[in-house]
């Protein structure tokens, strides 16, 4: 038996860089300091993405992407297929948790200045992955073909149509026509199960490769602490802790999915009146509430509604360019101005989201305030004190 195992290993060694991978894993380490817990957020986001892939494939076995059969196929999954309701609920809840952890991961990376040289492209790919996660949510929202999803998609695509110059083209590109129809459903299904997963897989591979090559970044204020502590071995120490977190997350996800199953609602009827309170997914709520505050009318041929849309698009672009705009952090290890801007953005996002869910405002305030205080506390400690010399962070 040992000879067989040795021969199999030798066979793979001749064809794959197994020995080199083992050598790399044996020497890879993770810095140890009081903010090391933030290193697990990226792995948690990836875990929920894996849950999305697995449950999505299972749902594809029964789902039919047409206006005539989509709702009935989801209903069949939830009522006839054994544990189909649980799989769909797992898929829906894990999508929300994936976006949530992606937001928190991006925020902690921003406030700990982990985007500084030489990790600019790691930050850029991370931002793109967050945008893709939100695109997954938008495209998947319509697939059950229920009333809420139908009218929410109509409102969402109308917003895209308000953009100057390219608005009409964007509207038709998203809908596959002038109205939300079965063609829109088929188009969203194609993006959701083929185009977006393919792009995400490539970007995720690049992102993980950059993280492995450059190692975990150490916040400038924690550099001295990390230098004085023995780093943690990535395998098996860090990997086992990551695995423990995934098991815990799976238990929490299963409990939420079982106790709060995702509802289906009523089948979409294009001729029915729109819902009184159409709401997007929570991660679009701050933008949606902003647009509701904009009065009707236009200036210089541009609708007022288009102005915040353009500002949000510009904000997303500037967020991606932060490593190239924040040159001070590479020279001094600090950038109070960018920290202050991040705090304002975070307060605005949490505040507008809580406002949008007025019936759930206490819950959003408690959760949002808790996360906000944690992140802001670390950011305040990070940028407090006298300026330091340039710090690149440790590479593993």
For 297, which DSSP code?
-
Query: Cβ atoms within 10 A of the Cβ of 308, count?
Result: 17
- pLDDT lower than 50: segments of the chain: 384-396
The count of other CB atoms within 10 Å of the CB of residue 256 is 17
Structural domains of the chain, ranges and CATH numbers in brackets: 30-280 (1.20.810.10)
Looking at residue 392, what is its pLDDT? 42
pLDDT of residue 375: 59
For the stretch 281-311, pLDDT in tens is: 899 999 999 988 888 777 766 778 888 999 9
What whole-number distance in Å separates Cα of residue 135 and Cα of residue 128? 10
pLDDT digit string (tens) for 242-260?
Answer: 999 999 999 999 999 999 9
Q: State how far Cα 220 lies from the chain centre.
A: 26
Beta bridge partners of 233: 29
Q: Which pLDDT does position 389 carry in this prediction?
A: 43
Q: Which two tokens stand for residue 171?
A: 């509207």
- How far is 240 from 250, CA to CA, in rounded Å? 15
| pLDDT the model gives residue 390 | 43
Q: What is the pLDDT of residue 354?
A: 83
pTM above 0.75, yes or no: yes
Q: What is the pLDDT of residue 394?
A: 39
State the chain's maximal CA–CA distance in angstroms: 80
Dihedrals phi, psi of 303, to nearest 5 degrees:
-65, 145
């Amino acid at each position: 038996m040992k000879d067989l195992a040795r021969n199999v290993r030798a066979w793979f060694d001749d064809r794959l860089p197994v020995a080199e991978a083992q050598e790399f894993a044996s020497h890879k380490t993770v810095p140890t300091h009081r903010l090391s817990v933030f290193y697990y957020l990226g792995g948690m986001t990836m875990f929920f993405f894996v849950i999305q892939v697995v449950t999505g494939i299972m749902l594809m076995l029964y789902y039919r992407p047409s206006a005539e059969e989509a709702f009935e196929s989801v209903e069949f999954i939830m009522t006839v297929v054994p544990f189909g309701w649980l799989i769909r609920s797992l898929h829906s809840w894990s999508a929300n948790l994936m976006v949530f952890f992606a937001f928190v991961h991006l925020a902690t990376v921003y406030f700990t200045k982990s985007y500084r040289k030489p990790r600019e492209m790691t930050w850029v790919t991370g931002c793109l992955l967050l945008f893709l996660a939100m695109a997954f949510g938008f495209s998947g929202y319509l697939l059950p073909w229920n009333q809420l999803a139908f009218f929410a998609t109509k409102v969402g695509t109308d917003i895209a149509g308000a953009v100057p110059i390219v608005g009409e083209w964007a509207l038709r590109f998203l809908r596959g026509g002038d109205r939300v129809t079965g063609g829109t459903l088929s188009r969203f299904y194609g993006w959701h199960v083929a185009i977006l997963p393919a792009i995400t897989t490539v970007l995720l591979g690049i992102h993980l490769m950059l993280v492995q090559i450059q190692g975990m970044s150490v916040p400038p204020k924690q550099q001295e602490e990390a230098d004085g502590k023995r780093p943690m071995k990535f395998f098996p120490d860090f990997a086992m802790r990551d695995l423990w977190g995934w098991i815990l997350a799976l238990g929490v996800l299963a409990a939420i999915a079982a106790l709060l199953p995702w509802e289906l609602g009523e089948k979409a009827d294009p001729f029915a009146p729109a819902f009184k309170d159409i709401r997007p997914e929570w991660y679009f709520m701050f933008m949606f509430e902003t647009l509701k505050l904009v009065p009707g009318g236009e200036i210089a041929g541009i609708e007022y509604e288009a102005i915040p849309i353009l500002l949000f698009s510009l904000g997303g672009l500037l967020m991606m360019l932060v490593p190239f705009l924040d040159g001070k952090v590479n020279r001094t290890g600090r950038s109070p101005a960018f920290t202050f801007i991040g705090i304002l953005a975070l307060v605005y996002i949490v505040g507008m989201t809580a406002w949008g869910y007025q019936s759930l405002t206490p819950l959003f305030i408690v959760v949002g305030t808790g996360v906000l205080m944690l992140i802001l506390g670390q950011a305040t400690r990070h940028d407090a004190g006298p300026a330091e010399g340039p710090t690149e962070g440790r590479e593993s």
